[in-house]
Amino acid sequence: MNPATAPLRAELVTAAAQIAGVCARPVISKVTDLETGDVRVVPIACGATRASKCKPCAEKARRLRMQQCREGWHLDHEPDPPEPPVEVEDDEGQADEDEPDRRVRSTRRRQDAPDLPRADMDPTTIGRTFTGPDGKAWRPSMFITLTLPSHGRVTSEGVPLDPASYDYRRAALDAIHFSKLVDRFWQNVRRCAGYRVQYFAAVEGQRRGAPHLHAAARGAIPRRVIRDVRAATYHQVWWPPHEQIVYDLDRLPQWSDNVGYVDRRTGAVLPTWEEALDQLGQDPDAQPAHVARFGEQDDIKGLVGGTPDADRSVRYLCKYLTKNMTGDEERADVSDERAWHLDRLAEEARWLPCSEGCANWVRYGVQPKDAKAGMVPGQCKRRAHDAENLGYGGRRVLVSRQWTGKTLAGHKAERAAVVRAALEEAGVDPDDHDELSIVGSDGRWSWHILARSQVDDATYGEAIAEAINTRQRWRREYEAAKQRAGPVASVLVGSFGSSATTVEQ
């Protein structure tokens, strides 16, 4: 093989995979049939959720989220009680009080925040039913958009009019603590709406680089109540002060066994995380390190299920799930001013503490929680510090436990069941369309995952070709099965909406 042509060939194979809708960066396995000795290359989808990593897998994940959103938004019956959570993403909205080592602080509200409205609680999750003049009952739900406050005036491109006065530090802190602010909002909404509000929400970046929230909420909540809750919601960050840098990068504390990080010049041991919090708790005049609030700009709409507006809202809510927080997949497409602005935000987020255990605490003269050797400020591996996240380290999709009563894996299995049912109705063996069924064949198959360094261009091309051929065959058989099955397949597919018609490997 000519080395000069290898990158081009790999690029063409990747392009072919994207066009065909199969994973463009699969994990490659060699599977040996121990009875016949036959060996085949089996690509396993990477499962990426970002288009910059794998567009077909990201699009597949987005369609699954659309189905999850659509199914729970306008339910007219209580979903089955969910199983104990096994997925982090389905455990959103838990109160801070659930943290076992949480320090107890005064529950007195801040004087600069309005009081929350109150309502009697109803155990339902589906909201009120309204009856029109014609006697028809309908159950509207809500589409809510919340933003952060202004950090400085910006242009239509999201670039500060005056970069020197733009509050980059507060912008980064607001992004870092945005997920906690959102948690608090939903806790307050449930207290004030009078029922157990369930939601499907997506976090995306505005043009200015700040995260904001789009949310589908089941049931009708008065706009006044939502705005009162938004104005009264805040999140106080009771961390040690970190406005002033204590140690420059050229004289960072060093690790000493048994005691932790010590000052290189004085030999003084840095206070541990618990000691720093003790000092904060003993100070009657102590103030939170940061207070996160929502901005006054919001958008609140009522929607009725089954309408074109509701379908458009599902697509809009999930539109940017495959993109990073900047929304710019290709930096070459943005102006120099915008690129500088995003880099400045990312740099600020790189050096601020993102969590109790963040290595950046060393720079502020505090040992991180559960400190260990080798913690270097500016090199914390958590997502909040990634340039593409601009400080936001939380989950991009937030789903309450009783949105549908199913986990994301359950939704995925249900979509697969639709395809299997259509194939069975048409007399096609669905097990021939499930590579994982090979794993369940006891003792017959031997799987060997190839390391990236073991996958040459020829093997990569073979795996992608196998995936493309399989997908095309499945698509032909599935479409033929739907035609032969007639009404049965139509009902099955129709129950999932248009997004269910795409079959994935």
Would the pLDDT of 223 be above 90?
yes
Residue where a domain terminates, one of 399, 425, 459: 399
Domain membership of residue 482 (yes or no) is yes
Domain membership of residue 81 (yes or no) is no
CA distances from 70 to 1, 75, 127, 181, 316 (A): 50, 9, 16, 25, 12
Residues 223 and 328 grouped into a single domain: yes
Domain membership of residue 29 (yes or no) is yes
Q: What is the pLDDT of residue 261?
A: 98
Residues 310 and 417 grouped into a single domain: no
Listed in sequence order, the residues at least 6 apart from 135 whose beta carbon sits closer than 8 Å to its beta carbon are none
| Average confidence (pLDDT) over 317-343 | 85
Q: What is the pLDDT of residue 102?
A: 56
Confidence of residue 86 (pLDDT cuts 50, 70, 90): very low
The Cα 442–Cα 188 span in angstroms is 52
Confidence of residue 100 (pLDDT cuts 50, 70, 90): very low
Sheet strands (E) in 369-462: 397-399, 445-449
Q: Report the number of distinct structural domains present in the chain.
A: 2
Q: What is the pLDDT of residue 3?
A: 46
Find how far residue 90's CA is from the centre of its chain: 11
Residues 414 and 340 grouped into a single domain: no
Q: What is the pLDDT of residue 479?
A: 78
* Percent of the chain residues past pLDDT 90, beyond the cut: 54
- In 3D, which of 298, 304, 299 has the Cα closest to residue 141? 304
Listed in sequence order, the residues at least 6 apart from 128 whose beta carbon sits closer than 8 Å to its beta carbon are 139, 219, 220
Confidence of residue 423 (pLDDT cuts 50, 70, 90): low
How wide is the angle at C-alpha 410 spanned by C-alphas 445 and 307, nearest 5°? 135
Residues 390 and 445 grouped into a single domain: no
The answer to which of 278-292, 393-407, 442-456 has the lowest mean pLDDT is 442-456
Q: What is the pLDDT of residue 155?
A: 96
Residues 350 and 417 grouped into a single domain: no
The answer to which of 13-22, 69-78, 241-250, 478-487 has the lowest mean pLDDT is 478-487
Domain with 335 in it: 140-246+287-354+383-399
Strand partners, 199: 217
User: Locate tokens 């739900």: which residue?
Assistant: 141
Domain membership of residue 273 (yes or no) is no
| Average confidence (pLDDT) over 363-385 | 97
- In 3D, which of 378, 344, 149, 408 has the Cα closest to residue 245? 378
Judged by phi (left if over 0) then psi (alpha if -120 to 50, else beta), residue 3 lies in: alpha
Residues 176 and 226 grouped into a single domain: yes
| Average confidence (pLDDT) over 190-204 | 94
- In 3D, which of 8, 7, 5, 14 has the Cα closest to residue 468? 14
Question: Average model confidence (pLDDT) for the chain?
Answer: 83
Q: What is the pLDDT of residue 35?
A: 82
| DSSP summary character for residue 23 | -
The Cα 71–Cα 17 span in angstroms is 30
Residues 389 and 421 grouped into a single domain: no
Domain membership of residue 270 (yes or no) is no
Residues 201 and 320 grouped into a single domain: yes
Would the pLDDT of 434 be above 60?
no
What tens digit of pLDDT does each residue of 439-467 get?
444 566 777 888 877 888 787 887 888 78
The Cα 141–Cα 400 span in angstroms is 15
How wide is the angle at C-alpha 401 spanned by C-alphas 399 and 407, nearest 5°? 80
| Average confidence (pLDDT) over 74-93 | 59
The Cα 323–Cα 327 span in angstroms is 6
Domain membership of residue 12 (yes or no) is yes
Would the pLDDT of 497 be above 70?
no
How wide is the angle at C-alpha 283 spanned by C-alphas 278 and 288, nearest 5°? 85
- In 3D, which of 130, 182, 358, 372 has the Cα closest to residue 261? 372
Within 10 angstroms of residue 264's Cβ, the number of other Cβ atoms is 12
Residues 413 and 388 grouped into a single domain: no
The Cα 57–Cα 18 span in angstroms is 9
Q: What is the pLDDT of residue 41?
A: 76
| Average confidence (pLDDT) over 479-499 | 53
* Percent of the chain residues past pLDDT 70, beyond the cut: 81
Greater model confidence, 322 or 418: 322
Residues 350 and 430 grouped into a single domain: no
Q: What is the pLDDT of residue 433?
A: 41
| Average confidence (pLDDT) over 382-387 | 95
Q: What is the pLDDT of residue 208?
A: 95
Residue where a domain terminates, one of 333, 366, 399: 399
Contact 289, 241 (CB under 8 A): yes
Strand partners, 260: 256
Question: Which CATH number do you get for residue 301?
Answer: 3.30.70.1910
Domain membership of residue 129 (yes or no) is no
Residues 395 and 416 grouped into a single domain: no
Would the pLDDT of 149 be above 80?
yes
Q: What is the DSSP string of 316-364?
A: HHTTTTTS-TT--S-GGGS-HHHHHHHHHHHHHHHHS--STT-GGGGGG
The Cα 432–Cα 39 span in angstroms is 17
The Cα 144–Cα 316 span in angstroms is 12
Confidence of residue 333 (pLDDT cuts 50, 70, 90): confident
The Cα 482–Cα 11 span in angstroms is 35
What tens digit of pLDDT does each residue of 10-57 get?
677 778 888 888 888 888 888 788 888 888 777 888 889 998 889 999
Would the pLDDT of 193 be above 50?
yes
Domain membership of residue 221 (yes or no) is yes
Would the pLDDT of 493 be above 70?
no
Q: What is the pLDDT of residue 504?
A: 38
| Average confidence (pLDDT) over 210-239 | 96
Q: Which helix (H) or strand (E) holds 199?
A: strand 199-205
Residues 43 and 190 grouped into a single domain: no
Confidence of residue 168 (pLDDT cuts 50, 70, 90): very high
The answer to which of 261-265, 304-308, 392-396 has the lowest mean pLDDT is 304-308
Q: What is the pLDDT of residue 331?
A: 63
Confidence of residue 489 (pLDDT cuts 50, 70, 90): very low
What are the tokens at 145?
């958009």
Would the pLDDT of 491 be above 60?
no
The Cα 246–Cα 168 span in angstroms is 20
- In 3D, which of 147, 159, 149, 148 has the Cα closest to residue 344? 159
Confidence of residue 495 (pLDDT cuts 50, 70, 90): very low
Q: Which helix (H) or strand (E) holds 301?
A: strand 298-303
3-state secondary structure of 417: helix
Would the pLDDT of 332 be above 70?
no
Residue where a domain terminates, one of 399, 431, 457: 399
Nearest-10 crossing angle of helices 168-176, 178-193: 60
CA distances from 211 to 179, 318, 373 (A): 9, 15, 33
